[in-house]
Amino acid sequence: MKAPAPLAVSIGDPAGIGPEIVAAAWAARVREKLPPFFAIGDRRAIEAVWDGPIKTLGAPTEAAAAFGKALPLVQVDDPGEIIPGDPNLAGARCALDSLEIAVGLARNGFAGGIVTGPVSKSQLYNIGFNYPGQTEFVAERCGISAINAVMMLSGPTLRTVPVTVHMALADVPRLLTTELIIAKARITARGLIRDFGIERPRLVLAGLNPHAGESGTLGREDLDIIRPAVEALIAEDIIAHGPLSADTMFHAEARKQYDAALCMYHDQALIPLKTLHFDDGVNVTLGLPIVRTSPDHGTAFGIAGKGIASPRAMIEAIRMAGMCAARRLCVASA
Ligand SMILES: NC(=O)C1=CN([C@@H]2O[C@H](COP(=O)(O)OP(=O)(O)OC[C@H]3O[C@@H](n4cnc5c(N)ncnc54)[C@H](O)[C@@H]3O)[C@@H](O)[C@H]2O)C=CC1
Ligand SMILES: NCC(=O)COP(=O)(O)O
């Protein structure tokens, strides 16, 4: 069977830990059995933190041949001097250009999927980026509405999906609707089948309030918004349970009962995931026509360039993107 095209890995903010963890992932490619990939970003930003071989590509089609001997790189517009740990606007533009190019290459079949390095949202907002995060940007470039691009955080023992994502906590009860929960759950179920090969995904839904509302005495969203979503999903033959008390659904025994937990707000999903899998958690976007993953940590400016950043989550993000891309190709050619 044909192998997927090499993955495009955007290095993210060049002043963050992106350049060194992408380079470290390439250095570990044989031991980790990683699929071929090429970096997109600024050569000098990588050279500032790594002294391994880099091959600047004339075209992304040269990546597969170069991968064995050097880190293949698609150079974006030179952002000027980049100092690790000291972000600036030129670096934010470089991060955005890298992301844009990665999506374009995957959309056109020159990349098997994309792995996005960490960006600083505040730096991006300073250059006019008006998306909550990379997920929504990639979705738009793929012609998908943000609501239909589902952020799933995935670690070896837990997958979580924040139903509402980058918004103030105070806005969550107003913006949480039965329709939104159903839409996210459907895409999660389809994504687990399509990209992860889980035939009958088991979903659980967290409550919003303490004790899932304690029969309506601690808030009515659990009964009025979340429970109807669970019933609608069951009626569609999707395995769904809930709303469950969020405080008791993440212990080891509970986690064995489901394939993904839909959580009602960002931190409800990310706190358990990062507590269990900070080192190897992957952020994957479900519902897109292209494969997109990302390490689930940020730019870590405080340690950039010090040689102490762990490349583990980047390695796992590359591995997962390769696995999803191969699965899609296999299904397409069956
Ligand atoms: N996928 C993305 O692009 C993401 C971007 N961010 C952005 O990152 C910036 C910083 O966010 P923070 O909340 O500080 O989170 P962070 O993940 O950058 O850092 C949190 C803590 O974890 C440490 N850390 C992070 N990654 C590490 C690694 N690979 N190895 C060792 N230590 C590591 C950092 O040094 C820091 O102590 C923000 O601007 C945020 O917008 C945050 C999360 C995801
Ligand atoms: N907290 C997760 C996160 O910030 C990742 O967002 P995105 O940039 O991948 O949309």
Mean confidence (pLDDT) of the chain: 96
* Model pLDDT, residue 162: 98
Per-position b or e across 113-138, b if 16+ CB within 10 A of its CB: bbbbbbbbbebbeeeebebebbbbbb
Number of residues that this document lists for the chain? 334
278: which residues sit within 8 A by CB, 6+ positions away?
296, 297, 313
CA distance 100 to 138: 8
All structural domains of the chain, each given as residue ranges with its CATH number in brackets, are: 1-146+288-334 (3.40.718.10), 150-283 (3.40.718.10)
Ligand 2: centre distance to CA 103 (Å): 16
Q: Express each pLDDT in 30-70 by its tens digit.
A: 999 999 999 999 999 999 999 999 999 999 999 999 999 99
- Whether residue 149 is predicted with pLDDT greater than 80 in this model: the reply is yes
Q: Which atom of ligand 2 lies closest to the CA of 131? A: 10
- Whether residue 111 is predicted with pLDDT greater than 90 in this model: the reply is yes
CA distance 280 to 278: 6
Q: Express each pLDDT in 212-223 by its tens digit.
A: 999 999 999 999
Which residue has its alpha carbon closest to ligand 1 atom 42? 298
Q: If you average pLDDT over residues 304-327, what whole number do you get? A: 97
The SS3 assignment for 240 reads strand
Residue 297 assigned to a binding site: no
Does the beta carbon of 299 sit less than 6 angstroms from any atom of ligand 1? yes
Which residue has its alpha carbon closest to ligand 1 atom 43? 298
Ligand 1: centre distance to CA 14 (Å): 14
Per-position b or e across 162-181, b if 16+ CB within 10 A of its CB: bbbbeeeeeebbeebebebb
CA distance 62 to 6: 10
Does the beta carbon of 121 sit less than 6 angstroms from any atom of ligand 1? yes
Q: Cα–Cα distances in Å, from 315 out to 35, 220, 293?
A: 10, 42, 11
**pTM for this one?**
0.96
Q: Express each pLDDT in 234-244 by its tens digit.
A: 999 999 999 99
Q: Which atom of ligand 1 lies closest to the CA of 313? A: 29
Peptide bond into 210 cis (omega under 30): no
* Model pLDDT, residue 263: 98
Query: Residues lining ligand 2, judged by CB closer than 6 Å?
Result: 133-135, 270, 283, 294
Supply the ipTM of this predicted assembly. 0.97
Which ligand is the nearest neighbour of the Cα of 20?
A: 1
Q: If you average pLDDT over residues 71-86, what whole number do you get? A: 92
Q: Which helix (H) or strand (E) holds 136?
A: helix 134-141
Does the beta carbon of 294 sit less than 6 angstroms from any atom of ligand 1? yes
